[in-house]
Chain A
Amino acid sequence: MSETVIDIENAVVSYREDVALRGVSLKVKVGEFVGIIGPNGAGKTTLLTVVNGLGRLLSGRVKVLGHQLTPGNGHSLRKKVGYVAQVQTIDPRMPMNVREVVMIGRYGLLGLLGRPKRHDWEVVDEMLRLVGMSHLARRPIGHLSGGEQQRVAVARCLAQEPEIFLLDEPTASLDWKAQTDILELVKEIHGARNLTTLFVTHDLSCLPVACDRVVLMKEGQVCGEGTPVDQLTDENLSQLYDMPVSEVKKRRVESIPV
């Protein structure tokens, strides 16, 4: 029997006057690969921040890795949750190299006042090898392309030795090749480590085929959940994106499947 690692019950989150999540419930089992899809502003990112303890719950209950989430205990939880965001703009002159940035992933584990030891650098180098970035290890981080930066972000996440892997539109603004490379990498990592993975995207073509389950989100609510084949029907997508079914059909035929 597989154990539930993420258990969200009726979560409500609001930023100022906007309600970002309106009573979302979601259970994720260990090793599952869940894709979360929906239009911009559907509350997908907010859902991820609820899982890593950065989102503020107005009401509801969130249990992650056996810990009930309260405003105070987010720090210890976040050490076990890896988070890859969209491509960030990094100052090209930022005085840090790729290896140092990946090491940041281990800082939470090391704790306040802890110093990276040889073992930590070995882990960092191993993760850089895994994502195919060893040759750029000493390069200033700001000199990397978007795709390379996302590989580094994945390596940083893995250096954290997380139990949950959150990806928030990691392929947004990347070119097609970089997108498929990152998707392939995420799939490989999930396959090799059986890491519980939540993958958020607004772009259907970026949803990894490896998903066990997809969650459709719209206006802060879950509006569908199930296997990709069951859920990603033209009718569901037409509702999700407010588009006539004929238009959805047309666009899906035209788009290149990943």
Chain B
Amino acid sequence: MSIFEYQFMQNAILTAFLGGIACGSIGVFVVLMHMPFIGVCMSHAAFAGALLGLWLGFHPLIGAFALSLLAAAIVGPLADRGELSPETSVGVIFSLMLGLAFLFMGLMPGTKSGALELLWGSILTNTRADVIFLGVVAVLVTGLILLFYKEIQATIFHRGMALSVGIPATAILYGILFLTGATITVTLRSIGGILIFSLILNPAAAAYQLTYSMKRMFLLSAGFGMLSGWMGLLFSYLFNIPSGATIVVTSSVIFLLAAVFSPKRRVKGWRARPLAEASHD
């Protein structure tokens, strides 16, 4: 019997595919809007929320979603106002969330296998229901990006400018934070609470090195996310090592390769020509 015939393996392959697309797309926002710290903050909040759910006996995903949105509600306005650098406040929230996560873990009675699963991630224990849930979020993320592409593009480029031409940029920003929270929540258990943010950041950071077109950046990033998921899963299976970690390490390797071969490293060469041209007119 081939490995692909096991349902747990099919679920894992689908999870890697859908999670890669959702995380890769969300990552483009995180990279271009310069808010990696907000993403880190939200993913640790989700981790803490899931542990809270485990401890108090409600569904971990509800806790994860609620706490990541709470974190977004606290740090979102800081980024929105944009007058002071929000790093310090975000740093405080981030460390608080990590502290809460470990606190909940400590308070939890009995074996902590569920908690450890949230920490490490375990893509191989995903159920069909998990996959469907993830599929819904992946469709939601890509659908909304396609539908509101031009509003999103303008908001990413410059929020103040988007507002000044009549685009509801503030609503778009909060919509983006909401989607980030949803994506983190549904991929949390597969990749692991501490690692999930790498799968958001790395594919987008790699795509960012390679293109000057935002559309292509979305496509590349989703592609890299998928590739990281599948390759990571393969290595995890071949060498019998934790899947979340292999997925994240694979995504980092993809980033490193992209950075090394990035045409944008030659920005200076790019500039030399336009300046020469400009002096003729």
Contact = CB atoms under 8 A, between A and B. Distances in A.
Given A93-B212, A143-B274, 5 more contacts: A83-B164, A96-B214, A113-B148, A132-B281, A145-B278
A25 interface: no
B165 A95 contact: no
A91 B153 CA distance: 14
Contacts of A130: none
Nearest to B158: A88
* Interface SS, B side: helix
Given A107-B150, A107-B151, A110-B150, A96 B274 contact: no
B154 A107 contact: yes
A112 B278 CA distance: 36
B160 A108 contact: no
A85 interface: yes
Contact of A85 (B153, B161, B211, B277): B161
Contacts of B212: 93, 95-97, 140
Contacts, number: 98
A41 interface: no
Given A95-B216, A132-B281, A160 B165 contact: yes
Taking each of B32, B164, B278, which has the highest tally of chain A beta carbons within 10 Å of its own beta carbon?
B164
Interface stretch (B38-46, B223-231, B263-271): B263-271
Contacts of B168: 75
A95 B211 contact: yes
B157 interface: yes
A101 B264 contact: no
Contacts of A90: 158
Interface string A95-137: 1110011001101111011111000000000000000100110
B165 A143 contact: no
Contacts of B278: 135-136, 145, 148
A195 B99 CA distance: 58
A139 interface: yes
A2 B188 CA distance: 63
